[in-house]
Amino acid sequence: MGKATRRWLFADQLGDHFLDSPDQPVLLVEARSVLRRRRFHRQKAHLVLSALRHRAAELGDQAVFARTRTYGEALDRVKGELSVCQPTSHAALAFVSGLEGVAVLPARGFTTSQEDFAAWAAGRGRHRLLMEDFYREARRRLDVLMEGDEPVGGRWNFDADNREPPPPRGLGIPAPWCPEEDEIDAEVRRDLDRWERDGEVSFVGRDAPRAFPATRGEAAEALAHFVAHRLPAFGPHQDAMLSGDRVMAHSMLSPALNLGLLDPMECVRAAETAYRRGRAPLAGVEGYVRQLIGWRDYIWHLYWHLGPDYRDENLLAAHTPLPRWFAELDADAVEARCLSWALAQVRDHGFTHHIVRLMVLGNYALQRGFDPRQLSDWFHRCFVDGYDWVMTPNVVGMSQHADGGVLATKPYAASGAYINRMSDFCGECRYRPNRRTGDDACPYTTGYWSFIARNADRMAANPRMARSVYGMRKLADIDEVREHEAARGDAPP
């Protein structure tokens, strides 16, 4: 194939590690049809177009930059053979695989190859594809946080040390790295404004200054800032939430990773080096490493391993359409403080950290039986780091338990007591986390027991949920709880 073959880079393949040589000719395509197909968050559209246009400006004459209505129109402008690294969605892979003169190469941007994953998964049934097993094998193979054949510190997983509630006065660490917009961002904003004004596209969420890296240089700065200033505090409170600190010590690097501006192994090695030099504690570094070579790669490979029909799994028979207030990010319509805050974060930033996604937004949806495919699409569109491969397994499997336990051995359903323990939301909320009925009953507490009752037969067969079913059956007011929840319907809580 050689250096002369032009490399087609999708907008989530923007790093140098997607090229075979620094001078390889490149094709970049900005196809407006992508924005027409879905109502993306305004800030997500801005970030992707900004990153794509910045990459085109960096490459200069090395790249053909086609700004067209469709990908097909762009391909008509290019002469000669093309190569492309495997795209990140089933639909995109099917599209490029059907094109003459386009060679599809193995995926890049992940730490485990598809061949290595296939070897690991061989002989394991769907319910034995355990992330912890995958993670340990990856640690050994990649020699990350290892001393010979044993994990550093004598433990593979420090998750038990990383579940502390939030400190009352906050973490006291520097704010995340933030970019300065430039003329390319101004051009993107003018174009998005015009397209929306002309009715060509429509967005959810609010516009705001770009908050995430759009270039390789910016991404490297953001990584260095995180490792130096935030990684040391990341571990203990990574599952905590604070109303006055929307990002805690999280890296905020997932958008850059998912655009291909960072190679995950450089993030891993930077964190590992910080530990070995005594600049960050092992528990936090291990937790961060697990997110990268464990969870991120695991989700990527399950997306392909489980196939395109996985998005339609719905073993809890959850068919409730997303209410308009939820779908449109109408935080002001919601009185429950944690949920209102979470929706406002998505509306204003296109981002929340993982525990808000799982235990506030996802938990509420799970309790009410929101359709998992609709919910997955909502997360895909509304989050700046959301892609089909990211959100389909995370939402269908992890968050909504629609796969019956392939990704997670229990549903991530919790009452208001969990949110009260892990956040500061409940103190000033009109609802009380310990109340199941009445005007001040917490929607999460009412919703939790209603969810258990609705799925009691299935949950009773799950060893990790049987105790909750037993507790539900001892509640004298469970019928009243379910009536209270039913009376709310799809109205905002």
pLDDT at 2: 43
d(CA 478, CA 414): 16
pLDDT at 274: 98
pLDDT at 160: 86
pLDDT at 1: 42
The residues pairing with 30 across neighbouring beta strands, listed in sequence order, are: 67
Number of other CB atoms surrounding residue 272 within 10 Å: 20
pLDDT by 10s per residue, the chain, length 493: 445 799 999 999 999 999 999 999 999 999 999 999 999 999 999 999 999 999 999 999 999 999 999 999 999 989 889 999 999 999 999 999 999 999 999 999 999 999 999 999 998 878 889 999 999 999 999 999 999 999 999 999 998 888 899 998 899 999 999 999 999 999 999 999 999 999 999 999 999 999 999 999 999 999 999 999 999 999 999 999 999 999 999 999 999 999 999 999 999 999 999 999 999 999 999 999 999 999 999 999 999 999 999 999 999 999 999 999 999 999 999 999 999 999 999 999 999 999 999 999 999 999 999 999 999 999 999 999 999 999 999 999 999 999 999 999 999 999 999 999 999 999 999 999 999 999 999 999 999 999 999 999 999 999 999 999 999 999 999 999 999 999 988 999 9
Number of other CB atoms surrounding residue 412 within 10 Å: 15
pLDDT at 163: 85
* Those residues with Cβ within 8 angstroms of residue 260's Cβ, 6 or more apart along the chain or in another chain: 9, 12, 13, 14, 15, 17, 18, 109
